[in-house]
Chains A and B, each alone.
Chain A
Amino acid sequence: MIAIRDVSKAYAGPRERSVLTAISLELARGEYVAIMGESGVGKSTLLNLVAGLDRPDAGAIVVDGVEVTALDDDALTALRRARMGFVFQAFHVLPYLSVAQNVALPLALLGVAAGEAQTRVGAMLDAVGLADRAASMPRELSGGELQRVAIARALVHRPAVVLADEPTGNLDPESAAQILALLAATIRAHGATGILVTHSHAAAATADRILTLTRSGLREETRR
């Protein structure tokens, strides 16, 4: 489903910093992996490369049979819109849209008809336990609730790939556990392939596989 082949990335600057060097990783459809590693080791960069939000210096990335690295910006955008969902550490729920509108946003971008969109948003909110908060504005929600909204938004359009970058970094342990469970359950329920970037062993433990990213490359930690 996701194939990362010999990808390298360095950031230009006064002191060129090599972040990723010849990284390779293969993920099967429906697989949910956690990537751990020290700060600055390139976890988020790897995620951005997969999402087509950044380009590798070398190597290739294939997502759902499409070579991401060969696409132009518009095609990448279309790919993200249709095939990917994102969950961020800071939730990034748009403050001026209601919960339902936030969740409906990917569907709107894909041109899903309003009626169907409404049904799917309703089902999705149901799935994340926010059915009764559909009309609420984000500022009325707690952090855990906001991240549920984000998860709903990431999966409402049934993406092939879900990318989550420290989704519980801003949450208390209890909420974090609930969110991680929800994320894993939802990804699995949709049959999506997921990458979870995290510092937390507890978080990583909710994934199918755990990989550790170090300066020298990706290392398989355990296999469930």
Chain B
Amino acid sequence: MSAARITPWGAVTGGALRANGGRLVLSVAAIALGVALGYAVQLINQAAVNELSAGLATVAGDADLEVRGPRAGFDESLFPAVAARPEVALASPVVEVDAKLAGDRGELALLGIDVFRAGPIQPGLVGEGEDGLDVLRPDAIFLSVAAADALGVKRGDRVGVLAGLEPVELRVAGLLSARTPGRLGVMDIAAVQDRFGRVGRITRIDLRLRPGTDVAAFRAALQAELPPGLVVARPEASLRAATSLSRAYRVNLNVLALVALFTGGLLVFSTQALAVVRRRTQLALLRVLGVKRRALAVTLVGEGAAIGAAGAALGLVAGYALAAAAVSIFGSDLGAGYFRGVTPRLGVEPGSAAAFFLLGVAAAVLGSLAPALEAARAQPGPALKAGDEQRALARLATPWPGLALWAAGLAASFLPPVRGLPLFGYAAIACLLVGTIVLMPRVAHAALSAAPRPRAVPGALALDQLRGAPGQASVSLAAIVAAVSLMVSMAIMVASFRQSVDDWLDRVLPADLYVRASMTTDTAFLSPADLERLAAIPGVRRSEPLRAQRILLAADRAGVALLAKPVDPADPARQLPLVGAFVVPKPGDPPPAWVTEPMVDLYGYRIGERIELPIAGRMAPFVVAGVWRDYARQQGAVMIQREVFVALTGDANANAVALWLDPGASPDAVSRAVAAAVPGGGNLEIATPGEIRDISLSVFDRTFAVTYALEAAAVLIGLVGLSSSFSALVLARRREFGVLRHLGMTRRQIGAMLAVEGFAVSAVGLAVGLAIGWLISLVLIHVVNRQSFHWGMELHVPWAGLAALGAVLLALATLTALASGRQAMGADVVRAVKEDW
């Protein structure tokens, strides 16, 4: 290599690469992991949402507007009235039912369409069969490819769909276009009406307007004429409503993935900070030799960028693989149950890939920025002298940025959500975390100064070293605090959530046996006759039917569950897990409605308030008589008395029945009797509270499995950062160890010194991490969760788990320190005293 080709980059970085290969690999890996997680989560979410929106787009087609209402639908007489309006070029009526398949084969979104009207708007819904008339025949169903695959049927096979509890046999007349996504079936609109008890009712009208129509004005005019409970909106509103439920969950996962990236950036910071310290004299020499400040800073930041680019590139590849694996194992909602019936296809998402690549590079660049600027700023003269390392990190000890971040974080935790997302909550967590990390040198110094100086020389020296060099210690501390606080906050949040769910399950499952036709579909139900038969079964002391419907209160929100069961207004707490006080309606008041927490957050319902709900095409008045907790329906639910519901709708069917048994009656025997007592009883789901609780908690755990995994990744990166920074520090102190050996310290004493250092640093980090983690968990519980999912929970700190976690961390940190010391204590420490760098 000619001398002319020696660049600052080559001079600064070349040697560092050779000397620090292992740590650089770690940095690259950390960025790669962060990017991989972020990209994977993004890909999976995007795939699920794409699939969902593609499904909705197929169903909505290229309609200009759609009229929607409650799940129970609305009177079909609205259809000709809307279709005949002069602005309407084409109106396509649709009956949508969530159908339950016979033989426990799951669910199917069943659409009844008028092929002549749907064809031009929703071509994806028109099936291809051998016989053209099958699109009209009442026994024919066309399945999407996904549905046919899921059910394992092909053209000519039969599927049974429950109407009530009895199956309606349908012939698979053909498949929908392969481009039609989702798990759905399409029939003639008349057939769906006729065969599933929907005669006279439709659930949607899709409108194509004449060219030149002012869509907004027409929408407003039509909306004014629609019966209560119906909305006319652009199809995008449906998509927003459909994705609104999972949105907060998806954002949560993204944030967790970004946390992993953040800890990766932290690792780059610690690596680069220490590398800069180690190369301080080299860098100063380069400055003396005439390398400009700017060039030096650019070179050092360039190193960070290179690390980031390498890591990000690796991360994108790993992220895609991860996403593919996760989707095949957990499904596109990563086990959370948001996207039932959605079969996602992963795309590469160039936009997201670019974004995460840039994020990865940015994390690494930001991580290397402070050390680079500091190195460039240093006066070359003093830096050339040995013993100047401490100064390198002194700048990080300024308290004001940290305090400002803290103040901002605390303030942000009191701000409301932004478009349904707890953005300020996330900001608060970020501020608290970063603020704490920035403050760590001060905090560490204060904490270590307060600690008594041990009598034994190694311990005393360890403490002196830590007190004397809080900047260096704080690099390790940043990693520990970040890892511990994130881990602790998530642990507290999840433990609180799980315990709250557990308590809630106790309160919502008071009966001995639960009999369910289907809670989520429209076609399966128990008729009043079925209910009477169940109540008459020997051993059944009391039965409580529950009807579930869905009503629409806002165009761009998911439908709200309208539930009806017998509730005693004087004592609603007996049947509902109320939160706080309740009111008893006075004589002359409208009937009571008990609403869930999301209704309070999303619709502003207040206790004692008079509200109107669109039920059966009328606005029915109610009084909000209480607020209850419901972890089952994130979109909100309203419970009304069964007799009120029946009076309003004339619908006396039930989705489920809770049975209380006579003392001594066998749940097993009653279960068998239930299945035998009603026609089609074999299609009922019968479960004891224990079984439901087990299923619910396992669903809960599955939902949080990915959360745990992401969190574990973040913590892992944090720990790797800790050990990496610690071993770097120890290596940097080889000369000091050499001196101490000269002065007569044994290897063991130096080991003990390092162990004490490791222990002390981790103890401080752990203590601060616990405190901040607890604080962050409060933000998670009361801000992020509440604003994302609208449900409250009680704080439960998993003390035993946290104690174990702390012990493990302390032990790990001590061992890491010891191991680093052993690595650093080779014979050449003696010669290190001769090294000038």
- A residues contacting B by CB (< 8 A) are 44, 48, 51, 53-54, 73-74, 77-78, 80-82, 84, 86, 88-97, 101, 105-106, 108-110, 137-139, 153, 165
- Whether A96 lies near B742 (C-beta < 8 A) is no
Min CB gap A198→B, angstroms: 14
Which of A77, A88, A110 sits near B833, CB closer than 8 Å? A88
Identify which of residues 729-782 in chain B touch chain A, using a CB-to-CB cut-off of 8 Å: 735-736, 738-739, 741-747
- Whether B739 lies near A139 (C-beta < 8 A) is no
Separation of A96 and B464 alpha carbons in the complex (Å): 6
Identify which of residues 430-467 in chain B touch chain A, using a CB-to-CB cut-off of 8 Å: 457, 460-461, 464-465, 467
- Whether A90 lies near B833 (C-beta < 8 A) is yes
Residue contacts A-B, CB under 8 angstroms, 14 given = A44-B834, A73-B746, A80-B743, A88-B834, A90-B386, A90-B833, A92-B738, A93-B387, A94-B464, A95-B468, A96-B464, A96-B465, A108-B460, A138-B387
Which of A74, A78, A92, A105 sits near B735, CB closer than 8 Å? A92
Interface presence of B408 (CB below 8 A)? no
Separation of A89 and B387 alpha carbons in the complex (Å): 13
- Whether B390 lies near A95 (C-beta < 8 A) is yes
Interface centre among A44, A81, A89, A90 (most CB of B within 10 A): A90
Separation of A139 and B742 alpha carbons in the complex (Å): 22
Interface presence of B201 (CB below 8 A)? no
The 6 closest A-B pairs by CB, nearest first: A96-B468, A81-B744, A92-B739, A53-B830, A80-B744, A95-B387
Min CB gap A19→B, angstroms: 13
Interface of B is mostly: helix
Min CB gap A3→B, angstroms: 21
Q: Which chain A positions have C-beta within 8 A of B584?
A: none
Q: Which chain A positions have C-beta within 8 A of B739?
A: 88, 92, 94
- Whether B387 lies near A139 (C-beta < 8 A) is yes
- Whether B744 lies near A94 (C-beta < 8 A) is no
Cβ proximity bits B460-488 to A, threshold 8 Å, 1 near / 0 not: 11001101110000000000000000000
Cβ proximity bits B816-837 to A, threshold 8 Å, 1 near / 0 not: 0000000000000010011010
When C-beta atoms are compared, the residue in chain A nearest to B466 turns out to be A96
- Whether A97 lies near B464 (C-beta < 8 A) is yes
Separation of A97 and B390 alpha carbons in the complex (Å): 12
- Whether B744 lies near A82 (C-beta < 8 A) is yes
User: What 14 new A-B contacts, CB under 8 Å, besides A80-B741, A90-B386, A108-B457?
Assistant: A48-B830, A51-B742, A53-B741, A74-B746, A78-B744, A81-B743, A86-B742, A90-B836, A92-B736, A96-B464, A138-B387, A139-B388, A139-B391, A165-B834
Separation of A124 and B743 alpha carbons in the complex (Å): 17
Given contacts A90-B836, A92-B833, contact A109 B745 (CB under 8 A): yes
Min CB gap A69→B, angstroms: 16
Which of B387, B464, B743 sits near A109, CB closer than 8 Å? B743
Given contacts A139-B387, A139-B388, contact A77 B741 (CB under 8 A): yes
Separation of A82 and B830 alpha carbons in the complex (Å): 18
Q: Which chain B positions have C-beta within 8 A of A93?
A: 387
When C-beta atoms are compared, the residue in chain A nearest to B834 turns out to be A44
Q: Which chain A positions have C-beta within 8 A of B469?
A: 95-96
Q: Which chain B positions have C-beta within 8 A of A105?
A: 457, 461, 743
Q: Which chain A positions have C-beta within 8 A of B744?
A: 77-78, 80-82, 84, 106, 109-110
Q: Which chain B positions have C-beta within 8 A of A73?
A: 746-747
Q: Which chain B positions have C-beta within 8 A of A137?
A: 468
Separation of A139 and B738 alpha carbons in the complex (Å): 20
Identify which of residues 375-399 in chain B touch chain A, using a CB-to-CB cut-off of 8 Å: 386-391
Min CB gap A137→B, angstroms: 8
Separation of A216 and B230 alpha carbons in the complex (Å): 107
Q: Which chain B positions have C-beta within 8 A of A94?
A: 464-465, 736, 739
Chain B interface residue bracket vs A: 20 to 34
When C-beta atoms are compared, the residue in chain A nearest to B746 turns out to be A77
Q: Which chain A positions have C-beta within 8 A of B391?
A: 139
Interface centre among A44, A53, A78, A96 (most CB of B within 10 A): A96
Separation of A74 and B741 alpha carbons in the complex (Å): 11
Separation of A101 and B460 alpha carbons in the complex (Å): 11
Separation of A91 and B742 alpha carbons in the complex (Å): 13
When C-beta atoms are compared, the residue in chain B nearest to A108 turns out to be B457
Min CB gap B470→A, angstroms: 10
Which of A53, A74, A139 sits near B390, CB closer than 8 Å? A139
- Whether B743 lies near A86 (C-beta < 8 A) is yes
Interface centre among A93, A94, A108 (most CB of B within 10 A): A94
Separation of A165 and B833 alpha carbons in the complex (Å): 11
Separation of A88 and B735 alpha carbons in the complex (Å): 12
Min CB gap A201→B, angstroms: 22
Q: Which chain B positions have C-beta within 8 A of A84?
A: 744
Separation of A95 and B746 alpha carbons in the complex (Å): 20
Given contacts A95-B468, A96-B465, A96-B467, contact A53 B836 (CB under 8 A): no
Q: Which chain A positions have C-beta within 8 A of B747?
A: 73
Separation of A220 and B457 alpha carbons in the complex (Å): 42
Separation of A123 and B830 alpha carbons in the complex (Å): 30
When C-beta atoms are compared, the residue in chain B nearest to A101 turns out to be B464
Q: Which chain A positions have C-beta within 8 A of B834?
A: 44, 88-90, 165
Separation of A94 and B741 alpha carbons in the complex (Å): 13
Interface centre among A80, A89, A92 (most CB of B within 10 A): A92
Interface centre among A95, A97, A137, A165 (most CB of B within 10 A): A95
Min CB gap A158→B, angstroms: 14
When C-beta atoms are compared, the residue in chain B nearest to A163 turns out to be B742
Separation of A152 and B260 alpha carbons in the complex (Å): 51
Given contacts A77-B745, A105-B743, contact A96 B830 (CB under 8 A): no
Q: Which chain A positions have C-beta within 8 A of B460?
A: 108
Separation of A153 and B389 alpha carbons in the complex (Å): 22
Min CB gap B23→A, angstroms: 23
Q: Which chain B positions have C-beta within 8 A of A77?
A: 741, 744-746
When C-beta atoms are compared, the residue in chain A nearest to B469 turns out to be A96
Q: Which chain A positions have C-beta within 8 A of B468?
A: 95-97, 137
Min CB gap A117→B, angstroms: 12
Separation of A105 and B464 alpha carbons in the complex (Å): 12
Separation of A95 and B739 alpha carbons in the complex (Å): 12
Identify which of residues 789-836 in chain B touch chain A, using a CB-to-CB cut-off of 8 Å: 830, 833-834, 836
- Whether A109 lies near B833 (C-beta < 8 A) is no
- Whether B743 lies near A96 (C-beta < 8 A) is no
Separation of A79 and B464 alpha carbons in the complex (Å): 25
When C-beta atoms are compared, the residue in chain B nearest to A146 turns out to be B387
Min CB gap A55→B, angstroms: 10
Separation of A80 and B742 alpha carbons in the complex (Å): 7
Min CB gap B732→A, angstroms: 12
Q: Which chain B positions have C-beta within 8 A of A92?
A: 735-736, 738-739, 742, 833
When C-beta atoms are compared, the residue in chain A nearest to B827 turns out to be A54
Q: Which chain B positions have C-beta within 8 A of A110?
A: 744
Q: Which chain B positions have C-beta within 8 A of A81?
A: 743-745
When C-beta atoms are compared, the residue in chain B nearest to A93 turns out to be B387
Q: Which chain A positions have C-beta within 8 A of B830?
A: 48, 53-54
Min CB gap A48→B, angstroms: 6
Separation of A53 and B739 alpha carbons in the complex (Å): 11
Min CB gap B836→A, angstroms: 6
Identify which of residues 12-42 in chain B touch chain A, using a CB-to-CB cut-off of 8 Å: none
Q: Which chain A positions have C-beta within 8 A of B833?
A: 88, 90, 92
Q: Which chain A positions have C-beta within 8 A of B742?
A: 51, 53, 80, 86, 88, 92
Q: Which chain A positions have C-beta within 8 A of B741?
A: 53, 77, 80
Min CB gap B461→A, angstroms: 8
Min CB gap B441→A, angstroms: 14
Q: Which chain A positions have C-beta within 8 A of B457?
A: 105, 108-109
- Whether B746 lies near A96 (C-beta < 8 A) is no
Q: Which chain A positions have C-beta within 8 A of B465?
A: 94, 96
When C-beta atoms are compared, the residue in chain B nearest to A74 turns out to be B746
Identify which of residues 164-182 in chain B touch chain A, using a CB-to-CB cut-off of 8 Å: none
Q: Which chain A positions have C-beta within 8 A of B387?
A: 91, 93, 95, 138-139
Min CB gap A140→B, angstroms: 11
Separation of A137 and B394 alpha carbons in the complex (Å): 15
Min CB gap A57→B, angstroms: 15
